[in-house]
Amino acid sequence: MGVTRCIALLGGSFDPVHHGHVALANYFVKLLFPDALRILPAGLPYQKQALKATPEQRIAMLRLAFDGLSVPVQIDDQEIRREGATYTVDTLRALRAELGEDLSLVFLIGADQLQKLHTWKDWRQLFDLAHICTASRPGFALDAAHVAPEVNREFLRRAATAEQIRTTPAGLACLAPNLAFDVSATQIRAALQSGQSAESLIPAAVLDYIRQHHLYQNI
């Protein structure tokens, strides 16, 4: 079944959003030419500790970070509104129910998330609902030595071109091995707490917001 619309999805804690998130989105916006980017800040991620910034603060930082992107950006707070732990498979089911079957949904993840994909709830069912695209950063190789064998097999057998991903609803995968951003939110919070510069890690408008609201100073 061919489709004409493509929506890219970017999920995460965004505590705080940083250049790596923006670079991942920009990379696939340029590769796939989606009609829109929908950003899905997590509510209560079941594999992470409690978040430091409030949902409102994380959404405000996302708006600042993605202002000016070349495609329309929508921040979807459904995971924040959902009670209990956040599971990606539930979010993708809800998006399919909302948006229908006749468009391409592309879920973007970093290579660090790809390494953990086999531990996600019903991870194989994600492919029934969306395509999955990932890009590596230094230290996170996309090969069998770093990715669970069952995940590696799925990505190899589902590997597709950008055109195939854009024009089919779900079920394909894309590995982009050349996104050179080595940054994590944990690293940023540690730098901010210790008074180190984080200007090279966070969009300037986000860093201004963090300073104005005195975030991440007591972790």
Where in the chain are the domains? 6-212
Look up the pTM and report it: 0.91
pLDDT(33) > 60: yes
Dump pLDDT digits (tens) for 192-217.
Answer: 777 777 778 899 999 999 999 989 87
What CATH number belongs to 6-212? 3.40.50.620
- Over residues 17-38, the mean pLDDT reads 93
- Over residues 2-26, the mean pLDDT reads 91
Q: What's the pLDDT score for residue 219? A: 44
**CA dihedral defined by 115, 116, 120, 122, rounded to 10 degrees?**
30
Cα–Cα separations (whole angstroms), residue 56 to 53, 77, 121: 8, 10, 27
Q: What's the pLDDT score for residue 138? A: 60
User: Helices 55-65 & 204-212, crossing angle to 10 degrees?
Assistant: 150
pLDDT(76) > 90: yes
Averaged confidence pLDDT in the chain: 88
Distance, CA of 54 to CA of 68 (rounded, Å): 24
Two tokens, residue 75: 């921040």
